[in-house]
Structure 1
Amino acid sequence: MASSIKVTLRKKANKQGLYPLVIRITKDRKSSYLYTGQYIDLKYWDEVNNKVRKSHPNSVRLNNLLIAKLAEANQTLLDLTTEHKDYSTRKIKQEIASPLSKVSFKQVAGEYLAELHAGKKFNRHITDNARINHLLNFADNADLTFIEIDEAFLRRFMAYLKGFKKLSERSVVNNLIVIRTLYNRAIKQGIVERKHYPFGKDKIRIKFPETEKIGLTREEIITIETLGGLSKQEHHVRNVWLFSFYLAGMRVGDVIQVRWSDIYDNRLHYRMNKNAKLLSLKLPEKIKPIIEQYRHEQKRQDDFIFPEMKKANLKNERDILAKTKTATKKFNQYLISIAEKAKIDKKLTMHIARHSFGNIAGDKIPIQMLQKLYRHSNITTTINYQANFMHKDTDDALDKVINF
């Protein structure tokens, strides 16, 4: 049965004895009512012509209001019929009362951030919230709709991020990815039509810029291993960095959460924070003297080996994240002074431990094995990552041409 919409007076009086003027939506013999907010005495309603009688002091204004509401409702119903096969009277009413097209970018972004928070993805919540605020601050419009976020708007936004905010190419891309994610959500929810989608071929294309991954050489690692004259804090930070390097560039958040109980049968067993994968790695001989330096601080079998997480509230994900960020910042500060003492001119950070492992591994280890060591879910990720450190083929080809 086709849907119908008409203006009527609902025969349910309020406490003052007045009756509401409504838009009645009927489909499949089921009706739903959209209230206009206007009430009149029963004697002023023209039942035959479905309008307010001229005897009402505000009849012209009320009838004009009803005509406008009816036209808006019919247009909305026409749009819904064109775009969707099946809509209930309740859904039609909802769309007429609060059109999805008027749902703002900020509203969809708020729902998205709430989901991240509820899922305890606090790091993602913090970074994406900052990126969403970049867009809202640029637009200076809390009611910004998705239709307004077109190709021209995004190109101005990109120029703003590069020029005013001084963001790198990679950071600009990360901002666009969040916007794209929210735009796809809006399309799926029916808030905006796909024809307005500003991303893709001949539009805004998201492409990660090539970045240079620099790792330490074998000689530079040996220099760090044997470096003397370190302060107590520098010595500790070197231990943490080498622990990470010896385990194929284990992420700092995982390193500082390793417990004594995670080590048994001469292996390290741990669950990655990034993707919750459970892993088991042989404990390298070089790690054993490092961790023994912390044995005197062990009080229980499930104590953390390194001290950074010992005062964390382990029931509070936000506190764990905060402690990890603080520790990483501290480590990187001390690594600067370690690099100076080692006379290494590369930027030494916790993350470069991962690059260093890749640099030394080069093309000596099968890519499938590197995938396991890096803990990548997809081998393509490993191939793309390791490509930064595999130079033998190109080096040999160059030598064959110029060495004559």
Structure 2
Amino acid sequence: MQEKINKAGEAPVYLRIIKDRKPKYISISLRVKPQDWNSDLSKVKKSHPNMGRVNAFIATKVAEAEGVALDLQRESKFVSPVQIKNTIMGQSSESFLKYFDRHLHTLEKTGKISTLAKATSVYTKLKEFLGTSDLLFDEVTVSFLKQYEVHLRDELGNAVNTIHANLKIFRKLINDAIREDLFPIARDPFRKFKLKLEKTTKTYLSEDELEALWILPLKEGTKLWHHRNVFVFASYVGGLRISDLLQLKWGNFSGTHIRTTMQKTSDVVAVKVPSRGLEILHLYQQDSNGPSDYIFPFLRADVDYTDPKALHRVISSATAYANKNVKIIVKRAGIEKHVSFHSSRHTFATRALTKGVGIEAVSKLMGHRSINTTQIYAKIVNAKLDEAMDAFN
């Protein structure tokens, strides 16, 4: 019984639910004078005029609450006191799992297949962890996130940045639900639970290493030859992602600029092609080339790629092949670095900043949503300058 005395000298009686040391109170629509309440037994005393009926009423409410709690715990591993309270009060929390599933359907409908593939992987892991249980928004607590983080790390062996990527999707869904008034901002667990992220080394090639790659003797027309050409092209032409390079058509080339819509961000970018890039394009130019023909010979002109899922599968396969060949080429060139095709993007950024291109321009060329992303490369360049100055010591 909590002491909120009304004019009649009566205080309300509350049912207290404690789970994981967190209490929640439910009003049972009963008021009792403090002198008639036995706090040790949680009953009214004999002095209460309706002692028998009131104590029976209290016992019924306690039994109902215990029944609800047991039913919920059978349905889910992560019952919170809030959820027990809501169920008793006839209020139901939105299902986080169903909300997640709707998010996947939205990604599919909007053609965001790459994002869908990543989110589906996260959803599948969560479903396997839950088993047959549902997961409600009220159950996505700091305690749950810590428990799930341990599962990802210890049971599945996920690295820190993989766990970050998984839980980042959880955070996005929570934020979306808050914006839709499905979840109160006051209960946002990510206000207290902080995502962990480890710094990763961005591998890039120096000018000498890039040149060594370019002059490496390779048989013309082989996949190794094509992959080397495209890697060097990306390192000179804005650090274009392989997903965009694969889809480049001659209609995207004006004679001086490559103009295309980036698949990942849908941003339109126009990059002036420097002499080395023009040299590479010249290797692929033929009189028979039409605007709808692909510049690089990885996608087939006679295949319809309008289905986003089919396109994603082809690009994923082609990217894996390119990554495999880039490692072979780099090793043949005598470069001892762990390089993937994406390293061409890092190579462009560091080269551009080293040559004095403004950070805002580099950010725009690379399609970064935030200049903070480009700042990472600026730090790399600054570190290289500091090393150069150490030669004067």
TM-score, normalised with respect to structure 2: 0.71
Q: Spell out, residue by residue over 1:248-273, the C-alpha distance to the aligned partner (whole angstroms, 9 max, x if none).
A: 31111111111112212422222222
Contact 2:234 2:241 in 1 (8 A): yes
Aligned to 1:373: 365
Q: Which moved more, 1:244-253 or 1:142-151?
A: 142-151
Q: Spell out, residue by residue over 1:265-314, the C-alpha distance to the aligned partner (whole angstroms, 9 max, x if none).
A: 42222222222222222222212332233334955332111122225423
**In the alignment, structure 1 residue 390 sits paired with structure 2 residue 382:** yes
Contact 1:312 1:319 in 2 (8 A): no
> Residue 193 of structure 1: CA displacement?
3.7
3-state SS of 1:286 partner: helix
Distance 2:183 2:291 in 1: 56
> Residue 321 of structure 1: CA displacement?
1.4
> Residue 100 of structure 1: CA displacement?
6.2
> Residue 369 of structure 1: CA displacement?
2.5
- State the one-letter code of the partner of 1:154: L
- State the one-letter code of the partner of 1:263: F
Aligned to 1:148: 139
Distance 1:387 1:230 in 2: 38
**In the alignment, structure 1 residue 332 sits paired with structure 2 residue 323:** yes
Contact 2:142 2:193 in 1 (8 A): yes
Q: Spell out, residue by residue over 1:10-63, the C-alpha distance to the aligned partner (whole angstroms, 9 max, x if none).
A: xxxxxxxxxxxxxxxxxxxxxxxxxxxxxxxxxxxxxxxxxxxxxxxxxxxxxx
3-state SS of 1:293 partner: helix
Contact 2:238 2:365 in 1 (8 A): yes
> Residue 141 of structure 1: CA displacement?
3.9
Distance 1:136 1:331 in 2: 33
**In the alignment, structure 1 residue 268 sits paired with structure 2 residue 258:** yes
Q: 1:371 to 1:268 in 2, by over 3 A?
A: same
Once the two structures are superposed, the pairs formed by residues 105-144 of structure 1 within 5 Å of their partners are 105-144=96-135
> Residue 158 of structure 1: CA displacement?
1.1
**In the alignment, structure 1 residue 319 sits paired with structure 2 residue 310:** yes
Aligned to 1:291: 281
Distance 2:175 2:257 in 1: 44
Contact 2:269 2:365 in 1 (8 A): no
Aligned to 1:211: 200
> Residue 159 of structure 1: CA displacement?
1.6
Aligned residues: 310
Q: 1:288 to 1:190 in 2, by over 3 A?
A: closer
> Residue 108 of structure 1: CA displacement?
0.7
Q: 1:342 to 1:398 in 2, by over 3 A?
A: closer
- State the one-letter code of the partner of 1:313: D
Contact 1:259 1:305 in 2 (8 A): yes
Extract unaligned runs of 5+ from structure 1: 1-66, 73-94
Q: Spell out, residue by residue over 1:297-354, the C-alpha distance to the aligned partner (whole angstroms, 9 max, x if none).
A: 9553321111222254232111111111111011011112112211211122110001
- State the one-letter code of the partner of 2:110: G
**In the alignment, structure 1 residue 103 sits paired with structure 2 residue 132:** no
User: Which of 135, 148, 151 pairs up with 1:160?
Assistant: 151
Extract unaligned runs of 5+ from structure 2: 1-59, 66-85
> Residue 362 of structure 1: CA displacement?
4.3
Q: Which moved more, 1:134-143 or 1:167-176?
A: 134-143
> Residue 104 of structure 1: CA displacement?
1.8
- State the one-letter code of the partner of 1:347: H
Aligned to 2:50: none
Q: 1:191 to 1:282 in 2, by over 3 A?
A: closer
3-state SS of 1:377 partner: coil
- State the one-letter code of the partner of 2:200: T
Aligned to 2:340: 349
- State the one-letter code of the partner of 2:338: K
Distance 1:153 1:265 in 2: 56
- State the one-letter code of the partner of 2:277: I
Once the two structures are superposed, the pairs formed by residues 39-188 of structure 1 within 5 Å of their partners are 101-188=92-179
Q: 1:396 to 1:144 in 2, by over 3 A?
A: same
Q: 1:148 to 1:360 in 2, by over 3 A?
A: same
- State the one-letter code of the partner of 1:139: L
Contact 1:251 1:351 in 2 (8 A): yes
- State the one-letter code of the partner of 1:375: G
> Residue 164 of structure 1: CA displacement?
2.1
Contact 1:243 1:255 in 2 (8 A): no
- State the one-letter code of the partner of 1:341: R
Contact 2:203 2:339 in 1 (8 A): no
- State the one-letter code of the partner of 1:171: T
Aligned-residue sequence identity (percent) comes to 24
> Residue 226 of structure 1: CA displacement?
0.5
Over the aligned positions, Cα root-mean-square deviation in angstroms equals 2.9
Distance 1:108 1:298 in 2: 51
Q: Spell out, residue by residue over 1:65-101, the C-alpha distance to the aligned partner (whole angstroms, 9 max, x if none).
A: xx99xx99xxxxxxxxxxxxxxxxxxxxxx99x9663
Contact 1:371 1:379 in 2 (8 A): yes
Once the two structures are superposed, the pairs formed by residues 7-18 of structure 1 within 5 Å of their partners are none
Distance 2:213 2:105 in 1: 44
Aligned to 1:221: 210
Distance 2:286 2:90 in 1: 66
Q: 1:266 to 1:184 in 2, by over 3 A?
A: closer
